[in-house]
Amino acid sequence: MSLWLQSSLQALQSGDYARFRQDLLPVAPIPIPDCLGRELEFAERRCRRASQDRLFPIRFLWLLEANEQRLWGYPPLARSHYHPETLLDFWERAIADPDHRQAREADGFRFDLEEKAVEMTAGWIYIGERFIADLFEVEEALGVTLQFPSPSSGVPRPVFPLRRRGGGSGGERV
């Protein structure tokens, strides 16, 4: 599975979506969560030229990290870089506060409000409509709860604890 994920990530990050769809997706070692399909569809729409608009396939990276945590106990963020709670907070603040968004754009960030995505240093990250649910879907696919380091203490813990307990409205914060 790790080799399949590495090949998939290389294809996605290089913008070779046709290779991923035709050669890799049909031989996936597990049923692929729907959220990964949505991330691929976003990439096909938004990241057509990898030299200008690279995809940062965070959901695929979560899948890889979930597999590594399940098999070897490796913590996430080595590959996915962006803490899910911090990333979602960054997105939500930029969406709610146009002045903040404009300041972040002056810092070099780009926002695609229609697609619900943000371009970070590593590339475009699809936030979409179901960011939190997508993370949970990835965890469910591998039967593991990712243990991200707490931004304040560094202690590993599941993210979005209120949502895990059924808190929140309508299933999403986005």
Dihedral (C-alpha) 115, 4, 135, 38: value to the nearest 10 degrees? 30
**What pLDDT digit, counting tens, does each position of 89-140 carry?**
999 999 999 999 999 999 999 999 999 999 999 999 999 999 999 999 999 9
Q: What global pTM score does this model have?
A: 0.92
Specify the residue for token string 């970070």.
120
Q: Edge to edge, what strands does the sheet with 117-120 contain?
A: 110-112, 117-120, 123-126
Q: Where are the domains of the chain?
A: 2-164
pLDDT above 70 coverage of the chain, percent: 95
User: In whole angstroms, what is the distance from residue 100 CA to residue 112 CA?
Assistant: 15
Kindly indicate the confidence band of residue 173, based on its pLDDT and cuts at 50, 70 and 90. Answer: very low
User: Cβ–Cβ contacts within 10 Å for residue 92, how many?
Assistant: 14
Spatial CB neighbours of 93, under 8 Å, sequence gap ≥ 6: 100
pLDDT band at residue 170 under the 50/70/90 scheme: very low
SS3 26: helix
pLDDT tens digits for range 3-17? 999 999 999 999 999
Average pLDDT of the segment spanning 150-157:
92
Question: Token pair of 35, please?
Answer: 């959220």
pLDDT mean across residues, the chain: 93
pLDDT at 134: 98
Terminal C-alpha separation, the chain: 31
